Chain A
Amino acid sequence: MVNLTIDNRAVSVAEGTTIMEAATAAGIPIPKLCYLKEINEIGACRVCVVEIEGKEKLVTSCNNQAEEGMVIYTNSPKVRKNRKMTVEMILSQHDSSCVTCVRNTNCSLQKIASELNILEEPYKKELEYQPWNKNFPLIRDSRKCIKCMRCIQVCDKIQNVKVWDVEGTGSRTSIYVSGNRSIEESDCTLCGQCITHCPVGALRERDDTEKAWWAIENKKKVTAVQVAPAVRAAWGEVLGLSEKEATMGKITDALRRIGFDYVFDSVFSADLTIMEEGNEFVERFKKGDTKQMPMFTSCCPGWIRFIKSRYPHLVSRLSTAKSPQQMFGAVMKTYFAQKIGVKPDDMVTISIMPCVAKKGESNMELFYEEYAGKDVDVVLTTRELNRMIKTAHIDPKTLKDVPCDTPMQDGTGAGVIFGTTGGVMEAALRSAYYLITGSNPQADAFGEVRSTREQKGWKETVFQIGDIEIKTAVVNGLKNTAELIESLEKGTVHYDFVEVMACPGGCAGGGGQPIHDGEELATKRGKRLHALDEEASVRFSHENLCVQKLYEDFLEKPMSHKAHMLLHTDHNAWDMPRMK
């Protein structure tokens, strides 16, 4: 143990503890801006400086360790003055038009400036301007960037994609797409982790709420909106709703009050995905197709962008099944459009997703025999949903639990856990068991595949189903994924079925989810989804009666020609920029 004094309080901490952690443990919070635990401990913003008795220079508390006998002041006049001046310097290069900023009231710079009682900006403003394509799903505003380097570190250390880098030196040092590329020609997976880890509003998703409002207002258009599983575990966080209060039923109510004509739950199409992907897996497994390389799940568009750019030779290992978002869109514009007697062209399909990459996925090429247009016309993130609720001035406390629309109303517990790492695998195995043995397993029989955001590497599990042994792996985060693929290619591991989710913790930690600087909520949200699964009356995708009806009335059976044309895709139909 190390004994020291912080703000006249005696503190005792374990060897190796940083000054910041030591102070926090003693109930003394130290403000910070660039710091991101284990990802960005580089002391760049200098906001967390503290004074050590006997030393002239201030020291950053985020990356220096507490030492025996140190006498530290976190709030001395010297610290306060310097901290304030540092923030004033940052503000001089930050576009502080807070009222028009997407991060207004959820901005770490705004918070620290307010805490330090900065009422005037003493330095002249000089904003850096870099042009940016506003049609791209990921938008960067150079005038707001405070060069904290978090985006670089997150993309590098968590995702190993390295889209961002420092560019230039000296006073003109900036952050931009690495390797002198533009964002369009980069291999950005659109995972959005840089957005959720940006302390200010320099990074955000393209805002598509106006497109949704336009569709709602347009009398000729019929709107059908779907809500992804992970959204229900997060949307209430910024609306003052508790975990239990923030139900899918209330999202449905909110969306109806906003003005959408039909509201659906993507859990339905998650179940539908299991029917297709589960059958595809059993078929491929039985044919011996997974003897060398596994079949990979295909529901995460960030992962699809990653494999296409980095491992194009492995694209054939992906399931051909579309993601639940795209499947639902396809079903809405065919089966459902016929049911309600509306031309597909007059339908606008909208999805609420925890994800930024879904905005890119909705542009994917379709098969010829499909109707014209896209499966999903407008993709909104959880954050955009929350903004629409606010714009509509809906008081969240007045929301009621209401059911989704028919005939795609049901969703099973298996579909709900699609929103967290391991969930797709678990749901698929529940149904694969049924497909292979003809009877249901215990609903939690495959709970072992569950992993967490914090899990390093990947989680492998081997299951005996009847006389068949299936080797599975579940991985989240693209750096972990790259390591898994390298091991697969070296032959040091072998699996039959691999679930990949690009974001740490899966969709629950998705790049489109509400932002809480310094907090990682994916694991907590994932637990909520598992709790909802446990509470569900039906926990097997193949027992979803609405899905069964869809096959009976329209798609014939899983993997039928029609199902193939509507619910599957050709991953080679479009190109990603290859890694140089």
Chain B
Amino acid sequence: MSRLEIPIPNRAQIVVEQLYKDLERRIEASPSGLCPIDMSKAFLELCHAQSCGKCVPCRVGLSKLKQLIEDVLDGGAEPETLSLMEETAKSIMETADCAIGYEAANMIYKGLIGFRDEYLSHIEKGRCSCNYQQPVPCVSLCPAGVDIPGYIALVHEGRYQDAIRLIRKDNPFPTTCGFICEHPCEARCRRNMVDDAVNIRGLKRMAADFAGKVPPPACQPSTGKRVAIVGGGPGGLSTAYYLQLMGHQVVVFEMLPKLGGMLRYGIPNYRLPKNRLDDDIEAILATGVEVKHGLRIGTDITIDELRKQYDAVLITIGASTDKKLGIEGEDAKGVISAVQFLRDVGKEAAIDLKGQEVCIIGGGNVSMDAVRTAMRLGAKKVSIVYRRRIADMTALQDEIEGAIAEGVEMQTLKAPVKIEADEEGRVKGLWVRPQMISSIRNGRAGVKETGEKDLFLPCTTIIVAIGQDIEFKHFEEAGVPVKSGVIQTESHGGFDLLPGVFAGGDCATGPATVVRAIGASKVIAANIDEYLGYHHSIQSDVEVPKPNLSDRLPCGRVNMTEREAGERVCDFEGVENPMTEAECRQEASRCLRCDHFGYGIFKGGRETIW
């Protein structure tokens, strides 16, 4: 007889645990547009099945809620049903013994408030106002609407040049995005339901790697119209590309010596090798874009002049000024904004950090770029100072991990309070106040002071990476609407009171991603074309291979590998290793072709023209 036993999970339990994992991945891939009431009912049934059954509110109350939801869905409910549901949910929240009960009721309660209109539509009309959206999740979630299943199928067949041609229909920066796109496309990849999302970004990079140089398509006949684009970043150049293809003549005004904007002067070479960026820019310029360098808007030229000289004007100046910390000592020598710091590196005029201790303030992607650049510039010690936890950082997970691997220190839960300088006004160090993580508001954990004493972090350079602003002053004076420091366009990218003037990219959205700027460029190019009195369309003649009918057996995702940290931190060469062609082909074969299988073949599948 044994007094105690080591519990051994039974077979059923093991299988259920696997099913939980399956369900987690499935929820991750859940498309939007589903009826929220039907979903609530499904969630409620899951929650109810989790109940131990001891207490009345959970065991009985949840099933009452379920019956009431069913009444709503069956068209048998009255407006009073909602009040009863609300009261019932509140009662369970207030009386249930444990979280299984009160959190289940809370989910229903949140829905009663959050999608009341949908509830009312069901009750009043007996009809559901929802439609299935995102039939092809990756395409729906790509701000530029790139034909992802299409180019993955082309990659699978080894037709890399065609893949690039197809991508360019919606995105003239295939190489750049292959390296640094934040790949929102992967978020709800249906392949998650089988095993894991397809490595879409990686496949794009490989298409670009294997394709070599691919010339752009021929431009449509010249319209004789001229368009000025202020700012040669991704948004400006993408719009320039599409307008050129439509037959308009574009002149890009760029104040810096080279084109690319943040891609060149913000993103470090180790993430996006500049010769690869040049591949994209060369193809864009090959369409006949004219470029005028060294002219600064507001000083050398004005919007009003451009409006007189050109048929349309587009503002894509990005967000290139830094946000200030607003703490004592910020003007000390050795305090530099991340934007300036990275721009200097891009201009090959980097400051010397050899042997220095450097603090970078902020937890976003720019901060990661700055710390990893500082490491490469030979700093002795590089630390990120951040108010919250690593988990709260807004930077991509891969970037954070890359920085840690390269030896960056993470000074989390420390809020900067003061910069201390020596007699000559040079930075001596940073005073920070210890924080503790606190209550969650709007889905994000806040912090509060621990009450411990401030700490001193000795350093000689402080890089501030807490966000960027837009140089809007000149535009505001020219009558361009500006709100909270961001240019306010209408949804068509223009301004009702300034016909012929358009704006897009970071300056119209606040700092965002490359692919969002490219997505906006399609909207703006189309609307400038309409404004100029045309209706050109952009399409690709690349024929997409028929879908692969193989069984979709689970198969691991090919992740990109990186050069070893100790080696890569010594130079600015690219850190990411390419896939082999075999890896590339296997990864491409994982695509489920949602454009052909499922709802995509019925509605919202392939869009071949815009």
Contact = CB atoms under 8 A, between A and B. Distances in A.
Interface of A: 41-44, 52, 55-57, 59, 63-65, 67, 130-131, 149, 165-174, 176, 180
Given A169-B33, A170-B42, A180-B127, 4 more contacts: A41-B601, A64-B547, A67-B549, A174-B128
Q: Is the interface of B mostly helix, strand, loop or mixed?
A: loop
B35 A59 contact: no
22 contacts: A55-B549, A55-B550, A57-B552, A63-B596, A64-B549, A67-B549, A131-B126, A165-B131, A167-B128, A167-B131, A168-B35, A168-B38, A168-B130, A169-B33, A169-B131, A170-B35, A170-B39, A172-B73, A172-B128, A173-B132, A176-B127, A180-B125
Given A169-B130, A169-B131, A172-B128, A65 B34 contact: no
A44 B39 CA distance: 23
Nearest to A34: B602
Among A43, A165, A170, A176: residue with most chain B CB under 10 A: A170
Interface string B25-42: 000000001110011001
A166 B130 CA distance: 9
Contacts of A149: 602
Contacts of B546: 64-65
Interface string B538-555: 000000001101111000
Nearest to B553: A56
A44 B602 contact: yes
A59 B548 CA distance: 11
Nearest to B597: A43
Given A55-B550, A166-B131, A43 B33 contact: no
Interface residue tally on B, bucketed by range: 20 to 34
A42 B604 CA distance: 12
B529 to A, nearest CB: 16
B39 to A, nearest CB: 8
Interface string B546-571: 11011110000000000000000000
Interface string B597-610: 00001110000000
B129 interface: yes
A379 B452 CA distance: 89
A510 B549 CA distance: 39
A44 to B, nearest CB: 7
A172 B126 CA distance: 12
A65 B38 CA distance: 36
A173 B549 CA distance: 27
B38 A171 contact: yes
A14 to B, nearest CB: 14
Contacts of A130: 126
A480 to B, nearest CB: 19
Interface in B567-610: 596, 601-603
A74 B185 CA distance: 37
Among B42, B127, B552: residue with most chain A CB under 10 A: B127
B550 A170 contact: no
Nearest to A42: B602
Given A59-B549, A172-B38, A172-B73, A166 B132 contact: yes
A288 B165 CA distance: 51
Contacts of B601: 41-43, 63
A421 to B, nearest CB: 29
B607 to A, nearest CB: 16
Nearest to A179: B129
A61 to B, nearest CB: 11
Nearest to A173: B132
A413 B130 CA distance: 52
A168 B121 CA distance: 12
Interface string B20-61: 000000000000011100110010000000000000000000
B148 to A, nearest CB: 20
